[in-house]
Amino acid sequence: MTIVTEPVLDIEHLTGGYSPRRPVLHDISFRVNAGEMIGLIGLNGAGKSTTIKHILGLMRPHKGSIKVKGRTLDEQPESYRAAFAYVPETPVLFDELTVEEHLRLTGMAYGIGERDYEARSAELIGQFQMEAKRGAFASHLSKGMKQKVMIMNALLAEPALYIIDEPFLGLDPLGIRSLLERLVEVKRRGAAILMSSHILSTVEAYCDRYVVLHHGRIAAQGGLNDIQEAAGMRGASLEDAFFKLVTEGASR
């Protein structure tokens, strides 16, 4: 017997972009299930950030639908927004709040009880090597430390869906390892993760499925086998198959 569970993120036939006359995304459909990490990959300008902006509700679909836990943003704005945490490529912090105050704010925004807050924040501060900086203002942090604060905030919230945009660039190797370990752990506990990155070896190693965007369309999606098949390259690495798909103009 197969148990059919509702996807945490369900994008169906999304056409969208910045101007209704010139869509950037064309008929995008993919899902992220609980306990899955999906890699959203594509060249510069392929449409990854635009897809993410649509999921966040910063832009509205021209056609198609986006559901988080079965509901669109219009149907249930509060529960839609509370179901995910977003880690942007460029950290956005309050300069005059400390690391700990950011965590505290997230704890309040997501309604996390005091005891859970204490346990989770202490663990995250330790795991991301931020003990010495817990009282530092965001404006006094390095780029990678700011990125860590964004990541810690997302992890503190323990949402059903993580949306993570190119998280590795600012992090040191220890930070990357901490992040990947945590993502594996939250996934095992049932979280859904959509991660966009250009570091394809890491995407291949950690993601369960991949969505290859090319010129705003899905060029291929599925497990490594599906991507290899779409590229006509059995046995290839994700990077080699991706390279073939995006340089030969394949579009399906």
Ligand X SMILES: Nc1ncnc2c1ncn2[C@@H]1O[C@H](COP(=O)(O)OP(=O)(O)OP(=O)(O)O)[C@@H](O)[C@H]1O
Identify which of residues 43 and 176 has a Cβ nearer to ligand X in the complex.
Answer: 43
The window from 47-55, 125-133, 172-180, 231-239 that contacts ligand X (CB under 6 A) reads 47-55
- Determine if 50 is a binding residue for ligand X (CB under 6 A): yes
Q: Which of 10, 11, 36, 49 binds ligand X (CB under 6 A)?
A: 49
Identify which of residues 48 and 187 has a Cβ nearer to ligand X in the complex.
Answer: 48
Where would I find the H helices in 7-113?
48-56, 77-82, 99-109
CA-based nearest residue to 110, from 141, 135, 139, 86: 86
| Residue 90 φ then ψ, to 5° | -110, 120
List, in sequence order, every residue forming a beta bridge with 1; answer none if it has no partner. Answer: none
The window from 5-13, 43-51, 59-67, 149-157 that contacts ligand X (CB under 6 A) reads 43-51
CA distance 95 to 73: 30
Minimum CB–partner distance for residue 228 and ligand X (Å): 22
Q: Compose the 10-39 pattern: x for residues touching ligand X by CB under 6 A, - for all others.
A: --------x-----x---------------
Instruction: Quote the distance between the C-alpha of residue 84 and its chain's center.
Output: 9
Minimum CB–partner distance for residue 190 and ligand X (Å): 28
Q: Compose the 175-204 pattern: x for residues touching ligand X by CB under 6 A, - for all others.
A: ------------------------------
CB atoms within 10 A of CB 180: 17
Number of residues engaging ligand X in binding (CB under 6 A): 10
Q: 38, 32 in Cβ contact below 8 A? A: yes
Give me the numbers of helices (H) and strands (E) for the chain, helices first please.
Answer: 9, 9
Minimum CB–partner distance for residue 47 and ligand X (Å): 4
Q: 207, 195 in Cβ contact below 8 A? A: yes
Q: Which of 26, 31, 48, 120 binds ligand X (CB under 6 A)?
A: 48
Q: 64, 14 in Cβ contact below 8 A? A: yes
- Determine if 47 is a binding residue for ligand X (CB under 6 A): yes
Residues that bind ligand X (CB under 6 A): 18, 24, 42, 44-50
